Amino acid sequence: MKQCNFLELTAVFLRLGLTAFGGPLAHIAMMRNEFVDKRRWLTNDEFLELIAATNLIPGPNSTEMAIHLGYKRGGAIGLVLAGVSFILPASIIVCSLAWVYTKYGNTPELGWLMYGIGPVVIAIICDALIKLGRSTINRPFRVLLATIVLALSLNGFNELALLAGGAAIGLGLKFVQRTGLAGIATLTIGATSLTAAVQTIATEAVPFTLSRLTLFFFKVGSLLFGSGYVLIAFLRADLTDRWGWLTNQQLLDAITVGQITPGPLFTTATFIGYLLGGWLGAVLATIAIFTPAFFFVALSQPLIDQAKKSSLLRNLLSGLVIASFGLMAAVTWQLTQTTVVDIATFMIFAGASAIATLWKTNWTWLILAGGVLGWFLQAT
């Protein structure tokens, strides 16, 4: 490890945190350009190894890449500086927007904007779903498993148990390959037991407290695999459906703010924390959802080489990603039903999808255009 200039490291990641629009893939592409091509802090192969490492642990991928890169450059101090510097700008911006939202959120003008922005956000989520599906749901069994998770999620099954089921089935498939029919029987029994366990999980409203908010976001940061958009499934399942802390519209507005601001989508937690608990809620939610990523990166760094060689871990990860896809598809359908509500919103959704596909237009511009269209359609 070369001598690290910590001031330079902090400045680079603060700049990335302020300019990294476009989601995790765009963030990672910017990091590669910065640290492989421009600064030559590591080789392309080393960068690819870090991408693989982020896929083996839960949490926000682009943030974990920043933390990994900070560790590679500056050890434990670099790990903390890079991660905090990447997260902080977006968190401040999102918290400021949350303050504006709570002050002016009940004005009809904001409703007009969100009427047009909502369908664009659904188009963004569908686009991420399609891209994830192309690379992940590419075999009949994977299609079947994702469909089962989708159906169970739409029927109110607990998302954590569904993720655990996906991981168990991924591991079970490896067992089947080794043990044949005995493995199939074990896998079937395990899946049946899991379904029974899932059905016993209770759903009940709970009063809001800051401690519950903090523990919820710590749980999400500790357990969420797959695309950052899987976050939406966790948020909707507990905060909207089970506990009633947020409405569907507030959740969609929070997702929108997370999408149009730079940095990680997980700063959606900052927005929600402010809505529910003010400035303290925003700080606690942000710290809670991102803290696990620092620990997971620190723990996984020495294990990267061994993890790459483990077929067991690859199978477990595969099951988790497939289950995550099913959850993401379920919540996309549920949000679509409350957002694409008439011909105008359908046309905005379809138009945004077509423009993004044909001309690779930045989603930020499409969100702004959706807001203008919504204002025009509702105000006239």
**Binning pLDDT at 50, 70 and 90, where does residue 327 land?**
confident
d(CA 85, CA 70) in angstroms, rounded, equals: 10
**Binning pLDDT at 50, 70 and 90, where does residue 85 land?**
very high
| AA identity, residue 321 | V
Compute the C-alpha angle 9/67/54, nearest 5°.
145
**Residue labelled with tokens 């029994």:** 189
Over range 188-196, report the average pLDDT.
49
Compute the C-alpha angle 10/13/19, nearest 5°.
140
Q: What are phi and psi of 274, to 5 degrees?
A: -70, -45
Contact 285, 210 (CB under 8 A): no
d(CA 91, CA 80) in angstroms, rounded, equals: 16
| Residue 191 pLDDT > 60 | no
pLDDT computed for residue 193 by the predictor: 45
**Binning pLDDT at 50, 70 and 90, where does residue 176 land?**
low
Give the pLDDT confidence of 335-372 residue by residue, as tens digits: 788 888 899 999 999 999 898 888 877 777 888 888 89
Give the pLDDT confidence of 305-314 residue by residue, as tens digits: 666 566 777 7
In the chain, where are the structural domains located?
107-288+303-379
| Residue 187 pLDDT > 60 | no
Contact 190, 175 (CB under 8 A): no
pLDDT computed for residue 271 by the predictor: 95
Over range 267-286, report the average pLDDT.
95
d(CA 214, CA 222) in angstroms, rounded, equals: 12
| AA identity, residue 107 | T
Q: What is the DSSP string of 7-55?
A: HHHHHHHHHHHHH--S-HHHHHHHHHIIIIIIS-SS-HHHHHHHHHHHT
| AA identity, residue 95 | C
**Binning pLDDT at 50, 70 and 90, where does residue 200 land?**
very low
Contact 70, 83 (CB under 8 A): yes
pLDDT computed for residue 199 by the predictor: 47
pLDDT computed for residue 253 by the predictor: 85
Contact 235, 213 (CB under 8 A): no
Count of positions (residues) in the chain: 380
pLDDT computed for residue 280 by the predictor: 96
Average pLDDT, the chain: 81
Q: Which of 217, 262, 264 minimizes the C-alpha distance to 60? A: 264
Specify the DSSP class assigned to residue 77.
Answer: H
| Residue 194 pLDDT > 70 | no
Over range 191-199, report the average pLDDT.
49
- For residues 53-63, one letter each, b for 16 or more C-beta atoms within 10 angstroms of the residue's C-beta and e for the rest, the string is bbebbbbbbbb
Highest mean pLDDT among 53-57, 106-110, 264-268: 264-268
pLDDT computed for residue 290 by the predictor: 95
**Binning pLDDT at 50, 70 and 90, where does residue 201 land?**
very low
pTM of the model: 0.70
d(CA 262, CA 256) in angstroms, rounded, equals: 12
| Residue 18 pLDDT > 90 | no
**347 Cβ contact list (under 8 Å, min separation 6):** none
Least confident window among 1-10, 179-188, 216-225, 271-280: 179-188
- For residues 197-211, one letter each, b for 16 or more C-beta atoms within 10 angstroms of the residue's C-beta and e for the rest, the string is ebeeeeeeeeeeeee
Neighbours of 69 (CB within 10 A): 29
Give the pLDDT confidence of 60-70 residue by residue, as tens digits: 888 998 999 99
Q: Label each residue of 241-261 as H, E or C.
A: HHCCCCCHHHHHHHHHHHHHC
**Residue labelled with tokens 């997980």:** 266
Half-sphere exposure of 313 (CA within 13 A, CB side): 16
d(CA 264, CA 66) in angstroms, rounded, equals: 11
Over range 171-189, report the average pLDDT.
56
**4 Cβ contact list (under 8 Å, min separation 6):** 73, 74, 75, 77, 78
